[in-house]
């Protein structure tokens, strides 16, 4: 399998009142195309920080992250925005939907940034809404949707740009058991059928049980890396 993400000797250091905190402490690992992996660990272990650095949302202090042969530290802010727009989809614990837009308008927003035509946007979003099981909610605003439905919209939005990678930070934290199971089924199906690489940051055992690979962090270091 092709390695698509390579992380080498990665550090993220904070200085707080003269105390040096290594949120990520010398992490080296790689991900292959089509992985369905979970980064796990207790609060403060560095998992969200690591995920944010992979996605270019946070800068690292030392080391390197190479995605599809590109060293992302060498990209300008604008280049990083464009790279994320065309390669990475994000799903967060907070759904981050825009309240005044409908579900469909929220999901197609990234495609508008990509300057896709209205026809292409509508076809792609309805295809995704069908896949995530919320076709009938396309014209409903977020305030009228359940938490599970909002997270499905967020997943459709993340997939709209046809990214190679989905980075999901605690995506099931606010969901009940059925919504979580349904969402994970959808993600696993997309992973298998479209070969999208999924990387989760989570402490949810339900996600960990479904992951094909579990990377455990503690105090910013990898303490285990298991493939199921």
pLDDT in tens, 4-40: 999 999 999 988 778 888 999 999 999 999 999 999 9
Q: What is the mean pLDDT of the chain?
A: 92
Q: What pLDDT shows up at residue 193?
A: 87
DSSP string of 146-161, one letter each residue: -HHHHHHHHHHHHHHT
pLDDT in tens, 106-140: 999 989 988 899 999 999 999 889 888 899 999 99
Residue closest to 154 by CA, chosen among 96, 85, 81 = 96
Q: What pLDDT shows up at residue 48?
A: 93
Query: How many separate domains does the chain show?
Result: 1
d(CA 150, CA 212): 26
DSSP alpha helices (H): ranges in 35-176? 47-54, 77-87, 103-113, 118-132, 147-160
CATH classification at residue 104: 3.40.50.300
Question: What dihedral do alpha carbons 89, 94, 100, 103 form, nearest 10°?
Answer: 50
Range of the structural domain that residue 100 is part of: 3-227
- Reply yes or no on whether the pLDDT at 167 is more than 80: yes
Q: What pLDDT shows up at residue 95?
A: 84
Residue closest to 133 by CA, chosen among 111, 108, 110, 151 = 151
Q: What pLDDT shows up at residue 19?
A: 87
């Amino acid at each position: 399998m092709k390695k698509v993400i390579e992380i080498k000797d990665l550090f993220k250091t904070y200085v707080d009142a003269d105390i040096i905190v290594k949120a990520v402490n010398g992490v080296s690992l790689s991900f292959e195309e089509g992985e369905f992996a979970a980064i796990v660990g207790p609060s403060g272990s560095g998992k969200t920080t690591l995920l944010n650095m992979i996605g270019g949302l946070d800068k690292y202090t030392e080391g390197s992250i190479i995605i599809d042969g590109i060293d992302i530290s060498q990209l300008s802010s604008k280049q990083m925005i464009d790279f994320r727009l065309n390669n990475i989809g994000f799903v967060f614990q907070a759904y981050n939907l825009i309240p005044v837009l409908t579900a469909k308008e929220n999901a197609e927003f990234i495609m508008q940034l990509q300057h896709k035509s209205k026809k292409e946007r509508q076809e792609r979003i309805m295809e995704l809404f069908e896949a995530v099981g919320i076709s009938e909610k396309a014209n409903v605003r977020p305030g009228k949707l359940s938490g599970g439905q909002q997270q499905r919209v967020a997943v459709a939005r993340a997939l709209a740009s046809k990214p190679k990678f989905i980075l999901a930070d605690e995506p099931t934290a606010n969901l009940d058991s059925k919504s979580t199971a349904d969402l994970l089924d959808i993600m696993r199906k997309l992973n298998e059928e479209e070969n999208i690489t999924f990387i989760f940051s989570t402490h949810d055992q339900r996600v960990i049980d479904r992951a094909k690979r579990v990377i455990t962090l503690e105090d910013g270091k990898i303490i285990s890396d298991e493939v199921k």
